[in-house]
Amino acid sequence: MGKRLRKARSMCCCVSPRSSFLTSHSIFSWYEEDTWIQIAKFLDGRSLVMLALTCKWFSRIMMEDCVWKYACLRDLDIPDPGKVSFKWIKLYTSAFDGSHSYMFRQQERHIDWARIGAFQFDSNAGLLSDSLMAPLRIPKQETVEKMLQQNCCCALNNIKPGIWIADLQLVRCAVCDLCSCDGTMQTLDARHIELFLSDGYLNGSWDYDTLGTRDISKSADVASGGIFDIKHLNDHSASDILDLKSWVGKRNDWQPKTLTTLHAVAVNTNLQDNEGLKITYEAMKAGKDGQVVSIRISHQLL
C-alpha cells in the first residue's frame, strides 16, 4: 500500500512576533516612566521644558522633582546638599534664568556680570579674604575692622549652609555722580541658592550691611578676593585656589580670572597703574537675626 500523501499547507504571510506581542498585551506602552526619567538626566533645562510641552504624560514625568534635582546638581557641578526649602525646578530656574543680584535693585549702577560657578558651605563659618597668599589663618581679633587691617581677611559666622552661587559683577562706583562717572568697581558676589526665591529678599526687607573696609594707599598690583568654608580651610578646595600660578593671568593680562572649588571661590584681576584700592566687605542676613545668605567683596580704585 503506498504512502499517504501529506496535505500541503497553504502559503500565508509572516506575522511579526512584536506585532503579536503588542496585540496580545494591550497594557504595553512606550511610555515607561523609569526609562524616560533616565533619559531626562541627559537633557538640559530647555530640552526638559520642550519635552514637557509635548503632552500631559511627558509634562507629569518631566516635572518630577528628582529630574530637576539631577539637572541642577549636574549643571552646577555640586554634590547633593541634602534638604532644601523649594522645589528643584524653582532652584534650577533661579540659578540658570540669567538672573543676578543687581537685576533686583541698583540696576542703574550695573554694567556687566559673569557667572563664576557654585560651591558649598558645609559649616556655618566662612573666611573672607582680599589676599590669596598662603597660608590662610583664622584671625583672632575681636572686630572685623581689626581683622581686616591686620590680616587682610575676616571670619564670618552664622552663614547658611548649602549650595552657594558666585558671580563676578562690574558696577559703577558708589561715590560719584552716576551720570558722569567713568569709575568701575569689581564685586565678588556670592549668594545662597535659595536667596532669589525668598520673600524677604524679593520685597526688599533684606539688605546688605557693611562688615568693614580696608584701604590700600599705594599702587595695587591686583584686586583679589576669596570666600572659604572654614571647615575646609586645609583641604584641596583652599590649596587649589592658593596655587595662583595655576589659574591667574600673566602680569599684562587685564582680564579677570576666577576659580571655584568644592568649598571655596576666588577672583583675581591684574591692575594697571593706580593710586590705591578700597576694599569693602558686605553681608546680607535673612532678617535681623537670621543667617547670612549673601556675601560681597568689592574693589574700587581710589
Q: What is the pLDDT of residues 141-161, one digit of tens each?
A: 888 989 999 999 999 999 999
The pLDDT, as a whole number, for residue 175 is 61
Q: What cell does 107 get?
A: 540696576
Cβ pair 195, 100 in contact under 8 A: no
Q: What is the CA radius of gyration of the chain?
A: 28
pLDDT at 22 exceeding the cut of 70? no
pLDDT digits (tens, 9 = 90+) for 203-217: 999 999 999 999 999
Residue of 217, 226, 209 lying closest to 301 (CA atoms): 217
Domain residue spans in the chain? Answer: 27-94, 107-301
Cβ pair 160, 124 in contact under 8 A: yes
Report d(CA 255, CA 272) in Å as an integer.
11
Work out the number of other CB atoms within 10 angstroms of the CB of residue 98: 7
What stretch of H or E contains 34?
helix 33-40
The pLDDT, as a whole number, for residue 114 is 96
106: left (phi over 0), alpha (psi -120 to 50) or beta: left
The pLDDT, as a whole number, for residue 182 is 56
**Which residues, listed in sequence order, are joined to residue 257 by a DSSP beta bridge?**
268
Amino acid at 88: W
Work out the number of other CB atoms within 10 angstroms of the CB of residue 193: 25
Q: What cell does 131 get?
A: 589676599
Distances (CA, A) of 127 to 62, 201, 284: 39, 24, 15
The pLDDT, as a whole number, for residue 31 is 62
pLDDT digits (tens, 9 = 90+) for 110-141: 999 999 999 999 999 999 999 998 888 899 88
- pLDDT grade, residue 23 (50/70/90)? very low
SS (HEC) of 59-118: HHHHCCHHHHHHHHHHHHCCCCCCCCCCCHHHHHHHHHCCCCHHHCCCHHHEEEEEEEEE
The pLDDT, as a whole number, for residue 236 is 86
Mean of pLDDT values over 46-59:
82
Question: Cell 583652599 appears where?
Answer: 238
Is the Cα torsion angle 33, 37, 43, 46 positive or negative in sign?
Answer: positive
**Which residues, listed in sequence order, are joined to residue 292 by a DSSP beta bridge?**
159, 285
Residue of 206, 186, 201, 209 lying closest to 255 (CA atoms): 186
The pLDDT, as a whole number, for residue 45 is 84
Distances (CA, A) of 28 to 16, 24, 61, 111, 258: 16, 9, 18, 56, 52
- pLDDT grade, residue 66 (50/70/90)? confident
- pLDDT grade, residue 78 (50/70/90)? very high
pLDDT at 6 exceeding the cut of 50? no
pLDDT at 299 exceeding the cut of 50? yes
Report d(CA 212, CA 151) in Å as an integer.
13
